[in-house]
Amino acid sequence: MIFLGVDIGTTRTKVLLYDAETGERRVVARPTPVTTSADGDLRDADETLAAVVDGMGEAVSALSSAERARITGIGVTSLSEEMVLLDAAGASLGPMPTWYNQSLGGEAAAAAGLDPSFSWAKLHWAFERMSGVASGPFADADPAEVITVTTLNGYVADRLAGAGRFAVDHSHASRTGFFDVRAAQWQPEVFRRTGWSESLLPDLVPTATSIGVLASGLAEEWGLPESLPITLAGHDHFCGAYGIGVRGDGELYVSAGTSEAHCLIVDRMPDGPLPADVGVGRFVDGTRFYLHRQLPSGHLYRHWRQLLGLEQETAAQEATAVAARPIGSDGAVLVPGFGTDTRSWLLGVPADADEHTILRALFEGLASAALHVDRALTGVSGAEVTAVLAAGVPCQSPAWQQVRAHLTDAPLSISHEAEAPALGAALIAQSAVSGTPAPVQPSTLVDPDPALLPAYRSVYDRFERALAAVAG
């Protein structure tokens, strides 16, 4: 059997063909369209759909007739918070803010106690524009034209199927700001505060639900089997977690990129209210939950490399130079911001410190902050971290691995899967078709050196003291 995973990412849309019998993968990529405007970056759902269709067409065109006959399911994942406004014909009414455009509706969301990146903020902004509160996109539109709303992956999946349902799965709903994670139902009173009527709320379905089959016109054009199910695979971060094998209670996924996401999988939701900086949602397997925090690690890494004049240095050169500096960075401590706070504090720098000593302090500071986050998630959930699995370009670095393996409370494994979200979407489609969990993909365990652990414990203790001083 062959499964297709479609990942609509921030900048790139990937179509991955996964052969479940051989493990072979093929990937076709397209730029994810973005519309620049005076209001910041917007996303046009129909342009995104066209990129997906174009990529899928190229992916299947390279297959033989026999291979096409083996395609058994399609899973669709996307960045979670982006929304689409639909009219009575099921057509998109125009571009909406990208997930990272937090200036549009963000102030109102913060005032409501919500994350400015949540879907709530995008919908509030659109209602204001349509109601004539401000100029710009949608300013001349009539709010009465909007019949329902959906997520970006819900729109693309539904248009591929021609189903007319535009359902939202629990994983994506968890990032809207108006979804009760425990009860798995919409919160109409929170949705109404966007300005829109609760009658616009779409149907909710569990993640990994098939919302229809591939439209007959596309199936005929591409030479694919009839009745090919289209599955809502969930939020791309958590499809990535599923793709590399994060499945069980206490397993923690580190998605290393510009934003370093830490996602702890748990069998049950913790009781009582949660800290404001801890996100929570339903996991893509349809049964578990996740707790989530993030660090601006990739952003700070690029920023400090530029400040230190190390932009031209190769990964191998960097790893050698960082390893040559002493554990503890000669007393220098770097404290990063948490969440979306991209500030950082550099303390205790000796007069003779060179650029690679500071770079090592950055690696140690980010690793210490990651351990701090993981322990906070453990404290909130009451679940012990049993394993840490990391994926992404930064964690392929030997320097990253060497420091992180010594600053963790559980064994660290590295996935070398380059397309974890797209693979996860394909595997979730496989699971939906077969009714059983898809196979876990291999990863590489990074063994710490026991002799170095005391020195790294000192690094973490010094970091905690510096963090308290900065916060105080």
- Say how many C-beta atoms besides its own lie within 10 A of residue 459's C-beta: 22
Q: Which helix (H) or strand (E) holds 212?
A: strand 210-213
Residues in Cβ contact with 328 at an 8 Å cutoff, skipping those fewer than 6 apart: 364, 455, 458, 459, 462
Q: Which of 267, 269, 246 shows the shortest CA–CA distance to 388?
A: 246
For residues 379-383, give the mean pLDDT: 91
Alpha carbon dihedral 236, 239, 244, 247, in 10-degree steps, equals: 140
Residue 185: the pLDDT is 97
At 133 the pLDDT is 61
Tokens of 185: 């139902």
pLDDT grade for 134, boundaries at 50, 70 and 90:
low
Pairing label, strands 387-391, 412-414:
parallel
Say which residue, 275 or 453, is predicted with more confidence.
453
How far apart, in whole angstroms, are the C-alpha atoms of residue 409 and residue 155?
Answer: 41
Task: Compute how many other C-beta atoms are within 10 angstroms of the C-beta atom of residue 2.
Answer: 22
pTM above 0.85, yes or no: yes
Instruction: Assess contact for 434 and 15: CB atoms under 8 A.
Output: no
Identify the weakest region by mean pLDDT among 129-133, 376-380, 465-469: 129-133
Cα-trace Rg, the chain: 23
136 confidence band (pLDDT: 50, 70, 90): low
Give which of 37, 25, 29, 28 is closest to 10, Cα–Cα: 29
Residues in CB range of 14: below 8 A, 6 or more apart:
5, 6, 7, 27, 28, 29, 55, 419, 421, 422
Mean pLDDT of 277-303: 93
pLDDT of residue 155: 97
- Per-residue pLDDT tens digits for 197-227: 999 999 999 999 999 999 999 999 999 998 9
Angle separating helix axes 398-406 and 453-471, nearest 10 degrees: 90
Percent of the chain with pLDDT over 90: 81
Residue 391 CA to residue 385 CA, distance in Å, equals: 17
- Which tens digit of pLDDT belongs to each residue from 386-416? 999 999 889 999 999 999 999 999 999 999 9
Q: What is the pLDDT of residues 154-211, one digit of tens each?
A: 999 999 999 999 999 999 999 999 999 999 999 999 999 999 999 999 999 999 999 9
What are the counts of helices (DSSP H) followed by strands (DSSP E) for the chain? 15, 23
Q: pLDDT category, 271, cuts 50, 70, 90?
A: confident
What are the tens digits of pLDDT across the range 429-448?
Answer: 999 999 888 888 889 999 99
Helix (H, G, I), strand (E, B) or coil at 97: strand
Tell me the one-letter amino acid at 211. I
- Does residue 140 carry a pLDDT above 80? no
Distance between CA atoms of residues 203 and 39, nearest Å? 30
Do 277 and 339 contact (CB within 8 A), yes or no?
yes
Phi, psi at 454, each rounded to 5° = -60, -40
Asked if 423 contacts 16 with a C-beta cutoff of 8 angstroms, the reply is: yes
